[in-house]
Amino acid sequence: MPQQARSARPLAGLVLALVLLLGGCRVQFGERSATTPGVPVSTATPAAVPTAPRSPAGTPVPAGTETVIEAPPPAPAPPASGEQRLTLAGSPDGPLTLDPALVRDADSAFIVRQIFRGLVRLDANLQAVPDLAERIRISGDGLVYTFELRDRASFHDGRLLTADDVKYSLERATDPALVGGDGRRLPAWTYLRDILGAEERMAGQRPDLPGVEVVDTLTVRIRLVRPAPDFLTKLSSPPAFIVDRWDVAGGEDWWRTPNGSGPFVLERWEEQRLLVLRAYRSYAPGAPVLQEVDIRLGADALEPMNQYERGQIDLVSVPPWALDRVQAPNSPLRQELRVQPLFAGSFILLNPNLPPLDDPAVRQALVQGFEREKIALVSLNGVVQPAKGLVPDGMLGRDWPATLPPYDPAAARAAVQSRLSGQPLLLYTAGSGVPVTLKEVYERDLGIQVEVLLMEWPDYLQDLTDRRLPIFVLSWVADYPDPASFLTALFHSASPDNYLGYRNPEVDRLLDSAAQERDEHARAQLYAEAQQRILDDFVVIPLYWDVSYLLVKPHVRGIELTPLGILGLERVWISR
């Protein structure tokens, strides 16, 4: 999911101003790759979604050929004290939408995740566990998932949540009418297409979603068209969140005052100033400990580091310019710093459908003519990890090396000058500094003319979706801990997030095979081959993987910082 830039980038930072993702979003946090003695560093990597039956505690339980996953037991009440209010600095622009079926940017997705929830969520170890569901039964062939809802699950107005609400929400998320009839542009195309009939529905070929069946008031059965080992992790994404049909019927702006299904109620939203979340005490998986979350917007969200040091906000991403000061041995902030490598990266993308990039030799020259490692090691002073490929190390518990052509500016100059005929290259950015560096390098080393065009974030996001940008920097946050969240999302020809319009039938075949391969080692091999084939087409230059550098006030407890960022706030508490 793309993340917005602030004085540097749209995702985990369209490259420079690094951002912490609050679980698919960001609160602008700085990041750095090198560790510092005495600073706690998380090395957690996601474990695969269990394929064996599980007990309430998450351990295997006998169930014949069926896999059973029980909801984890409620967490014990923490020793919270003082006012239970958390204050954050959010995006100056605020969320673009709070509609779970349509949210595409990371900033908005974080807020959506607090207001809405679905059948499952990802826990601190990035394993899929029941959320509004109490129990999940998976058939031996991996094609049928039966969800038993919690009998106390309800919307924020108190109306009990039923299997009919689940069916409605999934049908709505796959309705092509939400995006003017082109269902491939729906986020659900990425996350829900495994459901029987979902692809046909999003393609406008049928009016219903036959793969979702209401068994009784509290039981819903979902049938898949093919085995999908990552189905539950994808079901933890916003398009699968449960919405109130009567709320949606209130008009197209219903999401501005939503009747949600998650742990927090949207209490107040003052445009360009403040968004206030209030705890929903009847949240069935367990009431939040916090009473309120205040997210500053607009001008009140600017200079978050200064706000943190003045005690005005409770956590902040450390900007690169402040890292040395924060990590100094005598810094009072040193013990408040948390460091976490993230499943979020930044790339330069080269659109093969727009001239002159429709010439593979031009694309190869642009890849060979840019010493990409220097962005991480020099431009960003080593605060991020150089990317060796398109999948971050740690996914599926392994590394993901790949091969790129060696840096050769002389060969690149000869190739590109004979083909460009003096026409300038156009580089687009929503705030990243990388295109400026790229311009300087290409003009100096390749002898070509380059123009950098700065765009507002909403316009940039729209042009990404419409595939109109020739060369651009994209920072991408994984929505779930699987290689598909990078490779399939960004490079499968049928993905709505394929901002290049890239199409390679062999890559599609490999990704489709990996999507239904239940053997984890075989899946990894398929993804590794797909990664290399994409790189061999010279449509992408990997830059770096983000690292979160988060300052957390000592009185804030229970923050779970994962490779996907902070996913939820319901277990956060204050001790003063």
Gyration radius from the chain CA atoms = 23
Any bridge partners for residue 331, and if so which?
none
Domains of the chain from N-terminus onward: 344-546 (3.10.105.10)
**Per-residue pLDDT for the chain (576 aa), expressed as one digit of tens each?**
665 433 333 333 322 232 333 443 333 222 223 333 333 333 333 333 333 344 443 433 444 589 999 999 988 999 999 999 999 999 888 999 999 999 988 889 999 999 999 999 999 999 999 999 999 999 999 999 999 999 999 999 999 999 999 999 999 999 999 999 999 889 999 899 999 999 999 999 999 999 999 999 999 999 999 999 999 999 999 999 999 999 999 999 999 999 999 999 999 999 999 999 999 999 999 999 999 999 999 999 999 999 999 999 999 999 888 999 999 999 999 999 999 999 999 999 999 999 999 999 999 999 999 999 999 999 888 999 999 999 999 999 899 999 999 999 999 999 998 888 778 899 999 888 899 999 999 999 999 999 999 999 889 989 998 999 999 999 898 988 999 999 999 999 988 789 999 999 999 999 999 999 989 999 999 999 999 999 999 999 999 999 999 999 999 999 999 999 999 999 999 998
pLDDT for the residue numbered 458: 86
Question: How far from 229 is each of 33, 64, 125, CA to CA, in Å?
Answer: 31, 19, 17
Whole-prediction pTM? 0.81
pLDDT for the residue numbered 421: 76
In 257-352, DSSP assigns E strands to: 264-270, 274-279, 292-296, 315-317, 337-350
pLDDT for the residue numbered 494: 84
Question: How far from 255 is each of 21, 164, 245, 479, 569, CA to CA, in Å?
Answer: 22, 20, 12, 21, 20
For the chain, report the end-to-end CA distance as a whole number of angstroms.
36
